[in-house]
Amino acid sequence: VVSTQSTEAVVSTQSTGDRLLIIATTPYTERDFKQILSIRCEEEDVEMSDDAMLVLTKIGRETSLRYAIQLITCANLVCRKRNGTEVSVDDIKLVYSLFLDETRSSQYLKEYQQEFMFNEIEQKEERAMEVS
């Protein structure tokens, strides 16, 4: 069992479950985020300006590290499309506006739920229940 909300992770070391190993963990710092994102940029051969890295680090801290990592590839594609050699803040901003993180996606669905098809099905079921 690994808990992402607390600062401890409990890992079972035997299948019988009679022994546990408790591993204390701490949330990532801004420096950790930046280092992880820099390593990922190196692995993907992406050149990124310092300002763009700061913006990406902030996005990662506010949303999730996974989302920030996914933006690296997208921002690099935008950079190449404009014949750039280094990902800029504008590239990061553009892909941030195009691809939603989990929180913004949920917010969008709640805001526009009346316009989605599945909402029509629920309304028909409610009407059918009222008639019965």
pTM: 0.70
For 13-66, what is each residue's pLDDT tens digit?
555 567 788 888 899 999 999 999 999 999 999 999 999 999 999 999 999 999
SS3 (DSSP) at 83: coil
At residue 132, the pLDDT reads 63
| pLDDT tens for each residue of 90-111 | 999 999 999 999 999 999 888 8
Q: What is the DSSP letter of 19?
A: -
Q: Please give the backbone phi and psi of residue 11, each rounded to the nearest 5 degrees, phi first.
A: -120, 125
C-alpha to C-alpha distance for 59 and 70, rounded to whole angstroms: 11
Q: How far apart are CA 24 and CA 21, in angstroms?
A: 10
Q: Give the integer Cα–Cα distance in Å for 117 and 69.
A: 32
Q: What is the pLDDT of residue 11?
A: 56
